[in-house]
Amino acid sequence: MKRCVVTLSLVALVAVSAAAQDIRTLKLSASFISKGQAMRQQRDEAVSRGGQGPAAVALPLADLVDIAQLNRFEGVGYRDLCRLSTNVYPDVNPDSGIYYYYPARWYLHFEPEEGGYHLRIEYKASATGSNSVLLTAQLTPGYDQRDLAVLQALLEEYLRSQGNQRVIPRLLPLPATPEAQFQLASWDIDEVTVNAIEPDTNTIHLSISADVPTKELVTSTLLHEGLPGSVTLVPDVWSDLQTLTSPVEGYAEIRLGDITGGPTLRWPTTAAGGQAELVNEWPFDMRLSYLVYLLRDRDGGLRLRGWGLGDRVLGPGDTAKIPVSALNMEFRSDSAVDARFVAALVRDEDVGRGVIDSCTGGVGALPVENLVIDIMQPEALFAQYAIYRVAVEVQSAHFDPEGREVISRSYVLDGTENPLTTDPLYLWDDPSGGDLYQYRVGVVTTDGVTHADENWRRPGSFLPYTINIGSDVVEAVLAE
């Protein structure tokens, strides 16, 4: 495991020894209640306070409330300060003082104290002998009581600015049923099922049924573009006076490396020995940008203050130690709403694959081999033939886990990254007995002239997953 010393403009962050990184498979918690139970709880609490249901028009607090000095923190917005939607729906009964909040985005849940990602991929054998895949996951908006405190401060500031302070506002969850949809063109996803929700956190427990090739497609995207979808909040209409009856739309994403899916990085409540510690409990590197806090001004209004951290990086398991004496204590005063770090995770291909492998159980995975392009003694070869670049075009139906079409991939090599590992080939059975792949080689010489194969080459029988490029190949291409 790597160790580092991180120096910030604010204070030195010293990486200390930690246990070796352990990416463990999470056992999904069963501590949730049914959707019907959650709706009844929300309705009963609202009715007990005189609620008659949410009104149709939301208050966009991010547009209605200005946070002074927010623009001093580049790239920081309302979403960095509050993981809930900043739109709130007032109750149709204004005297109730009820405003309904809801999450706008859901992410793959990461909880270090429970083993890591709330994701499980299981292979299930069918009666026909083929395999299917069941992907179970928890999606979370990642908010907690401090996010509610920030939303409460925004709401109270809006009401104060409007001279409306008759009733102390009360935030309650929007009474609605979440419906998740992952509609992906040409992907054989049989079913997406919302199994249950957690009313306190709006965590969604869902399952996705698919075939094995689709699982390979899904997991290959989990680190980068992710598995995008939507969450439609269908209002629970429980009053004739309620005017919000149309669905409220949210966004969902199953992707690794989204820091919003894990615990918020906050200033700790205690600082033993005059130092506070921030531990990177993720398997990915963490880039720290700011330590900020939201402050209520004495005469009204909200203000953002804090320190820049220089985009420094903490490795997995590393700890940042911050002397309390280096900070002013304003952010620990009664007027401070919340203090948190603004950070992002640095995605890494190898780490992502390790996480996916740890979340995969059962048998029946589609075999995969990575194609390798190896230039023989590249420095000497490039000098001998005055080569500027070598280009290799590969075509294969095995780039697609389902073999639906022949896909072409092009790779440009300058000799510095050698051998080059390319995209994976999925080794499904090919009844036609055709080539696993075919390839063509192109050579660009230092005078700018391009030479290229006219015909496709076939893989060698001795090293079928390696394309070797030596002087014989280069001379044949230059002779074209």
For residue range 163-214, list pLDDT tens digits in order. 876 778 999 989 888 887 776 544 556 567 777 777 667 888 887 776 666 6
Question: Would 3 be classed as within a structural domain?
Answer: no
pLDDT band per the 50, 70, 90 thresholds, residue 303: very high
352 and 384 together in one domain: no
Q: What is the C-alpha end-to-end distance of the chain, expressed in Å? A: 50
293 and 150 together in one domain: yes
DSSP one-letter code for 44: H
Confidence at residue 202, expressed as pLDDT on a 0 to 100 scale = 80
Q: What is the pLDDT of residues 223-252, one digit of tens each?
A: 777 778 888 889 988 888 999 999 999 998
DSSP one-letter code for 19: P
C-alpha 213/C-alpha 344 separation (Å) is 31
Question: Would 31 be classed as within a structural domain?
Answer: yes
C-alpha 292/C-alpha 339 separation (Å) is 6
Q: If you search the block for the tokens 């246990």, which residue do you land on?
A: 19
- Residue 418, CA distances (Å) to 379, 413, 459, 468 in order: 11, 8, 19, 11
Contact 202/103 with Cβ under 8 angstroms?
Answer: yes
Tell me the residue type at 229. G
Question: Would 47 be classed as within a structural domain?
Answer: yes
Question: Would 13 be classed as within a structural domain?
Answer: no
* H-state helical runs in 378-434: 378-384
Question: Would 303 be classed as within a structural domain?
Answer: yes
Confidence at residue 342, expressed as pLDDT on a 0 to 100 scale = 95
Q: Who has greater pLDDT, 166 or 89?
A: 89
Burial environment of residue 465 by CB neighbours within 10 A (0 to 12, 13 to 18, 19 or more)? middle
CB atoms closer than 10 angstroms to residue 50: 14
Question: Would 174 be classed as within a structural domain?
Answer: yes
67 and 186 together in one domain: yes
- Out of 24-28, 312-316, 344-348, 462-466, pick the least confident: 24-28
176 and 282 together in one domain: yes
350 and 431 together in one domain: no
163 and 296 together in one domain: yes
308 and 397 together in one domain: no
Q: Who has greater pLDDT, 305 or 353?
A: 305
161 and 257 together in one domain: yes
117 and 187 together in one domain: yes
Tell me the residue type at 448. G
- 3-class secondary structure, 98: strand
Q: If you search the block for the tokens 């009581």, which residue do you land on?
A: 145
Give the DSSP H/E element, type plus range, for residue 108: strand 105-108
Q: Does position 472 have pLDDT exceeding 90, yes or no? A: yes
- Residue 142, CA distances (Å) to 80, 147, 264, 281, 382 in order: 12, 9, 8, 16, 52
- 3-class secondary structure, 397: helix
Q: Based on the structure, what is the number of domains in the chain?
A: 2
426 and 305 together in one domain: no
pLDDT band per the 50, 70, 90 thresholds, residue 132: low
Structure tokens at 289: 């940008």
Question: Domain span at residue 442?
Answer: 367-478
281 and 374 together in one domain: no
Bridge partners for 165 per DSSP:
none
Confidence at residue 27, expressed as pLDDT on a 0 to 100 scale = 33
User: Using only C-alpha atoms, what is the Rg of the chain?
Assistant: 28
Exposure string for 134-143, b = 16+ CB within 10 A, e = fewer: bbbbbbbbbb
Structure tokens at 459: 């893989």
Question: Would 5 be classed as within a structural domain?
Answer: no
Q: What is the pLDDT of residues 328-343, one digit of tens each?
A: 878 788 899 999 999 9
Structure tokens at 119: 């994701």
32 and 141 together in one domain: yes
Question: Would 12 be classed as within a structural domain?
Answer: no
Length of the chain: 480
Give the DSSP H/E element, type plus range, for residue 375: strand 368-375
Bridge partners for 306 per DSSP:
292
What is the average pLDDT score of the chain? 81
